[in-house]
Amino acid sequence: MRTLDYLWNLPELFWPPVVAAVCLALLCAWLSVLVTLRRLAFIGQGISHAGFGGIGVAAIFGLASASLSPAQSLVQFAVVVSFCVAASLAVGWISTGASRRAGVTHEDTAIGMVLVVSMAVGSILVSRFAPRFQWESFLFGYLMNTAWPEAAVAAGTAAVTLGVLWCLRRPLTFWAFDEPAAEAFGVRTRLAHAVLLALLGLATVTAMRLAGVVIASALLILPGAAALKLSTRLAPVLAMSLTIAVVGVLGGLVLSFELSWPPGPSIVIVLAGIYVAAAMRPSGTRRAQAAR
């Protein structure tokens, strides 16, 4: 197999993307369940394109260049992450805080508003402070270019995100499944909303930077959507979402190595195939009828 040959003979070239891809799967899998339950499928696209505004802010400090040192690249990444987390919280404020005073603004509308404003701000700042910067290199990463430092960033981000989700798993999942009941039982729903959006901002920017917008969006939607087709119980859904995400990225990378396909689309194809298989699986009622 070409996959084993690559991993065995060229470990420094191919192992970092594999490790980074698995970390991104772990980072996004649990969040994808909450994204599916809260119908926030558009959030990945919105936050990822809001990253253009973050690049504009980085350009003010001279951090929009193709020849940055590793330390400057890390600072640039932190600036973009901070901007995207702020954009996520702005979505939450527009759709909850502002709506209490000026009528309801749905989340998809809030995401669209923040997306276009962020891109406009980014365009103005980049044209003013770094007119020659190729911003596509940040917004549309390529997984196979990942080195060990980037893989370490993915691992650290995954650890932080999973740690926060584990500590807040009960209020977050209660809120995601039934917001009115959660509020009635004393869950601080606006805080839960803000925490989820902040984590989504962090996860989206990390996945986007290392693997591109397509993989970031796919990992935030497909694993959770497939898991919810297979079960309605929380623990199995979370476990299956993690499993589906890891199997999807590893299967996609194997396809990429064996067939010389681009890694991002390969991962999306495998994840989509798993979702289709889960959606076609007979429900409990249909299985019982078929067994009669």
CA distance 216 to 201: 11
Cα→Cα distances 151→16, 98, 142, Å: 6, 38, 13
**160 CB-side CA count, 13 A:** 13
Q: What's the average pLDDT block by block, 10 residues per block, for the chain (292 residues)?
A: 81 90 95 91 82 90 80 88 92 71 68 90 90 70 87 94 93 88 89 92 90 88 94 90 96 92 91 95 51 36
Question: Between vectors from CA 222 to CA 147 and to CA 249, what angle results, nearest 5°?
Answer: 30
Q: What is the pLDDT of residue 67?
A: 75
Fold of 2-280: ABC transporter involved in vitamin B12 uptake, BtuC (1.10.3470)
Q: Which of 44, 43, 78 is nearest to 61 (CA)?
A: 78
The H helix count followed by the E strand count for the chain is 16, 0
Check residue 102 and give its pLDDT. 52
DSSP state of 282: P
The dihedral built from the CA positions of residue 176, 194, 114 and 179, taken in this order, carries a sign that is positive
Q: Which residues contact 288 (CB under 8 A, 6 or more apart)?
A: none
Question: What pLDDT score was predicted for residue 283?
Answer: 61
258, 1 in Cβ contact below 8 A? Answer: yes
Q: What pLDDT does residue 132 have?
A: 80
| Contact predicate 269/255, CB 8 Å | yes
Nearest CA to 186 among 199, 168, 174, 169? 174
Could you tell me the residue ranges of all domains in the chain? 2-280
Count CB-CB contacts under 10 A for residue 280.
8
**How far is Cα 18 from Cα 7, in angstroms, rounded to an integer?**
9
**153-157: which pairs have CB atoms within 8 A and are 24 or more residues apart?**
153/74, 153/77, 153/206, 153/210, 154/19, 154/20, 154/23, 154/24, 154/27, 154/206, 154/210, 155/19, 155/23, 157/23, 157/27, 157/202, 157/203, 157/206
Concatenate the DSSP letters of all residues of 140-164 into one string. S--GGG--HHHHHHHHHHHHHHHHH
User: Which CA distances in Å does 224 have to 13, 111, 174, 232, 260?
Assistant: 31, 20, 16, 11, 28
Tokens of 287: 């299985």
What pTM was estimated for this model as a whole?
0.85
- In a 13 Å sphere around the CA of 93, the CA atoms on its Cβ side amount to 9
